[in-house]
Chains A and B, each alone.
Chain A
Amino acid sequence: MAKQYETVIGLEVHVELATKTKIFCGCTTLFGGAPNTHTCPVCTGMPGSLPVLNKQVLDYAVAVGLALNCDITRYSKFDRKNYFYPDNPQDYQISQLYLPICRNGSVEIETGSGKKNVRIHEIHMEEDAGKLVHDEWTDTSLVDFNRSGVPLIEIVSEPDMRTADEVIAYLEKLRMTIQYLGASDCKLNEGSMRADVNLSVREVGAEAFGTRTEMKNLNSFKAIAHAIEGERARQIELIEEGKAVIQETRRWDDNKESSHSMRSKEDAQDYRYFPEPDLTPIVISDEYLEKIKSAQPEMQPQKIERYVSQYGIPKYDASIITGTKRMADFFEEVTAINNKPKKAANWLMTETLRLQKEKSMDADEIPFSAKNLASLIDLADEGTVNNTVAKEIFEKIFEEDVDPVSYVEEHGLKSVSDEGELSAILDEVIANNPQAVEDYRGGKKKAIGALVGQVMKATGGKANPAVINKLLMEKLN
């Protein structure tokens, strides 16, 4: 019988913090800009320049640490990680090795197989590097330091995950938490959240870990899931063939859907870490910690509870619309306008999520205004448009943020509720569909659906279904 293998996965997640300025200088963190325009002597490593810590970076790092149930290190330090590379202007990166700002955290995740805790080893602060631009034409490389010094935190988990599902659930939980804190937008495709996957396999029941590899360049949940499946299979195959798994860093190629070796442990650099002498130690006072704690925003569990009690929506609905802070905020905005929370929740949970998925958008991308969704809810509620039409209008709102009131006017989409007008159409439909009428009268109540459908067809979908039903009952009974 074939051996059973267990996958052991730990993650190193880099998150770019949403500060206005860089971690050690006053330059803007704005994306884009002509190369080397968001720079100064500090972030280009000019001789004699010195770093000064941006306090907002510390605030965010501590806030994330608290939200992920970490111990906050009360005496923390920065260290220098020394390595030569042209995108690294000082040829050392200011990071944290010996005394990272947060340690010993944990997050609860939920997958199809239930709930579990993933422990967090540490969170540390560091600076991002610049970007190399390779010019094939002139065979030269150029460096842009606009990104150099953008603040990052690195969240290092313990090897507590066993499946791709758990990894995705963990990342989604991190993303949601950090977005709730406003500490980052956490976009994988834009690189503001980057995950490196450390993976090994071992026989089920084995105590010792297998040899692990580290996978880089994973830019989407899909890539992460595929990389995990691929790497698991690759390692199992090696073991089955009696070969050794080599400890190495591998790079995922999204197009080829496979990975290749970047460097092995033997090539690993000695980073010669030592305490950064240009920065003083960070001492966290009780007062500071209290200040950050009391400024923590309402997180998802509290929000769900409040939505259930304050708005009276089902817990299930509340848990879905609080999946991202953006959607929760949007829900509250719509509800503040017309106070129809259940209806607002419905539009978000069903149509909004469906269209986001269809268009491969992130769950926190809501490209329309609360005002327009509120008016649409009102129009449908008043019976001015029927549900079918409302869904059509919603797509327009989602795509172009149209004002539903004028849209209905312009396109003549008001539902037909006039009983006289509908009555004439009904008579015609009844006359033309004797079989359906007979079936209905014979007890096949469902046959009424065919009649309603015919009326809708005749009115171009605009008939008010409530009025049709009422009239049909009168006429048939």
Chain B
Amino acid sequence: MELTDMTALELSEKIRGREISVKDAVTHCLANIEKSEDKINAFITIDKEGALKEAERVQEAIDDGSLTGLLAGVPVAVKDNMCTEGIKTTCASAILENFVPQYTSEAVLNLKKAGCVILGKTNMDEFAMGSTTETSHFGVTKNPWNTDHVPGGSSGGSAACVAAGEVFMALGSDTGGSIRQPASFCGVTGIKPTYGTVSRYGLIAYGSSLDQIGPLANNVSDAVHMLQAIASHDIKDSTSVKRDNYDFISALNGDVKGLRVGIPKDYFTDGLDSEVKQSVLDAAEKLKEQGAEVSEFDLSLTEYAIPAYYVIACAEASSNLARFDGVKYGHRAAEYEGLHNMYKKTRSEGFGAEVKRRIMLGSFVLSSGYYDAYYLKALRTKALIKKAFDRAFESYDVILAPAAPTTAMKLGESLSDPIQMYLGDIYTISVNLCGLPGMSVPCGKDSKGLPIGVQFISDIFREDNMIKAGYAYERARGEIEACPMRKAGE
């Protein structure tokens, strides 16, 4: 089997069986990066030297028997909003253009403990604000299936580099769909775990109450193994939850007999592209064939999720991004008169338009006299949406939905109309508001040849149901054509 055709698990097995060296795997990926980066620009930083050095360390640990994990030796990438000691971490922003952290985020440390080798930091929407990876200060990332199209976002770089075969897996972060939507657009699997499952320590915050790190991979099994590697209870993150169990792998059993799958009718309305709709409903049919009990229901309150989300996320962002002020690190305006002017010029120069829009929106909804009307109302709305999901999970184990209303947009199509872009988050946002786990799995392509993803959502801490459904569906679906760029990579 060629390296390109292998899953991450197959690669690691061969590495642990001494059939392939870690260095070979890393070199293979670095060569693919060399070939594809000109076309897709998935990376902000490629750490070739560091990766080759780390490959040696991992090889030694495998050779001396101290490293036996199922992902040992697998080359991976990390979204550029997770701190990596000694490696530039920019959040795709001019304001952090040359920022080198003093410490490594917990999720990345966990990944290193599992023996994964980090090849670089991936491109994203600036501070994870966007759905297309076009708001990056470091240029747009292009969809490897068709480079006239966006890869989705904000974890567009992570989704694209996995689809293109530049790495085997990547970490993304998901505040309102930022893992699941690009996974859908790039034809890969992406998981957003239950809030509190993966430590946020070292993840540069966008919306603290919504942010969650998760995996992007070429198949469900790889993604689930990566989730298992990064999930941990971390005392450095107060919102990290001590879960009863961290076993996600045993849900990879394909058994969906009797699994109750609900299809929210509210999600299959006018705004949904007909090809996407058909493809997602076909996926539901496949699950039914496997023995799942599939039925439709009314979720309700769907139209309130987007305004509630944008109020809460922007409010938190306006405060989270205050620290980028030119005093301690990152960009500082070259010339200024006094402190206030230094702040103003630094931040005016350092942030892009979408980030500024959300900071202003967030500052407005928190300002005195508007707090109750916007922020408090959004919190109440969030509580109502959570109740609607709680009700749904009384009757269903898994909710099946599209990951996005369309396939990947053309480059440059979305930015002119932010409202339209925000509306694209309709199927992913409620999951973040409610802290739920969600997973996007490739389920077909549209007539333009662009990938479509089906989303599985389960109740908090019940990733097992979501994984069962996703894995069973993937098996029933069968092999799908790999991204042409990945094949060309070999």
Contacts and interface: CB of A to CB of B under 8 A. Distances in A.
Interface of A: 41, 44-53, 80, 82, 84, 86, 89-92, 143, 270, 272-274, 277-280
A44 B371 CA distance: 28
Contacts of B323: 45, 47, 89-91
Contacts of A41: 102-103
B34 to A, nearest CB: 30
Given A47-B323, A48-B202, 6 more contacts: A41-B103, A47-B83, A48-B82, A48-B200, A89-B327, A90-B323
Contacts of A273: 366, 371
Nearest to B91: A47
B205 interface: yes
B375 A274 contact: yes
A273 B103 CA distance: 29
B101 A91 contact: no
B175 to A, nearest CB: 12
A380 to B, nearest CB: 58
B322 interface: yes
B397 interface: no
Contacts, number: 99
B238 A92 contact: no
A357 to B, nearest CB: 44
Nearest to A86: B327
Nearest to A90: B323
A47 B101 contact: yes
Interface stretch (B246-254, B312-320, B473-481): B312-320
A38 to B, nearest CB: 15
Nearest to A84: B343
Nearest to A87: B327
Contacts of B324: 47
A279 B200 CA distance: 12
B208 interface: yes
A52 B366 contact: no
7 contacts: A47-B323, A53-B238, A80-B319, A86-B339, A272-B318, A272-B363, A273-B366
B202 A84 contact: no
B465 to A, nearest CB: 26
B7 interface: no
A48 B322 contact: no
B204 interface: yes
A49 B204 CA distance: 8
Contact of B328 (A44, A80, A272, A277): A44
Nearest to B326: A86
B66 interface: no
A89 B339 CA distance: 14
Lowest 9 CB-CB distances: which A-B pairs, in order? A91-B322, A272-B366, A277-B208, A277-B209, A48-B202, A47-B204, A48-B83, A45-B323, A48-B204
B341 interface: no
Contact of B316 (A50, A51, A52, A277): A277
A94 to B, nearest CB: 11
B138 to A, nearest CB: 17
B368 interface: yes
Nearest to A268: B368
A53 B343 CA distance: 30
A219 to B, nearest CB: 26
A404 B374 CA distance: 73
Interface in B295-327: 315-316, 318-319, 322-325, 327
Nearest to A52: B238
Contacts of B201: 48-50
Contacts of A278: 205, 208, 238-239
* Interface-central residue, A82, A143, A270, A277, by most chain B CB under 10 Å: A277
* Interface-central residue, B208, B323, B367, B371, by most chain A CB under 10 Å: B323
A46 B101 CA distance: 8
A53 B238 CA distance: 8
Contacts of B367: 270, 272
A92 B323 CA distance: 8
B319 A274 contact: yes
A90 B96 CA distance: 15
A22 to B, nearest CB: 14
Nearest to B81: A48
Contacts of A49: 201-202
A140 to B, nearest CB: 12
B238 A47 contact: no
A48 B205 contact: yes
B89 A47 contact: yes
A91 B325 contact: yes
A341 B91 CA distance: 69
A280 B327 CA distance: 29
A284 B102 CA distance: 36
Contacts of A84: 322, 325, 343
Contacts of B375: 274
A86 B366 CA distance: 22
A134 to B, nearest CB: 12
B45 interface: no
Interface in B204-226: 204-205, 207-209
Contact of A48 (B203, B235, B319): B203
Contact of A274 (B89, B103, B235, B371): B371
A396 B319 CA distance: 58
* Interface-central residue, A49, A53, A270, by most chain B CB under 10 Å: A49
B242 to A, nearest CB: 12
B236 interface: yes
A55 to B, nearest CB: 12
Interface in B70-121: 82-83, 89, 91, 96, 99, 101-103, 105
Contacts of A90: 322-323
A278 B319 CA distance: 12
A46 B99 CA distance: 10
A272 B366 CA distance: 5
B237 interface: yes
A390 to B, nearest CB: 58
Contacts of A143: 327-328
Given A48-B105, A86-B339, A272-B367, A279 B238 contact: yes
B97 to A, nearest CB: 13
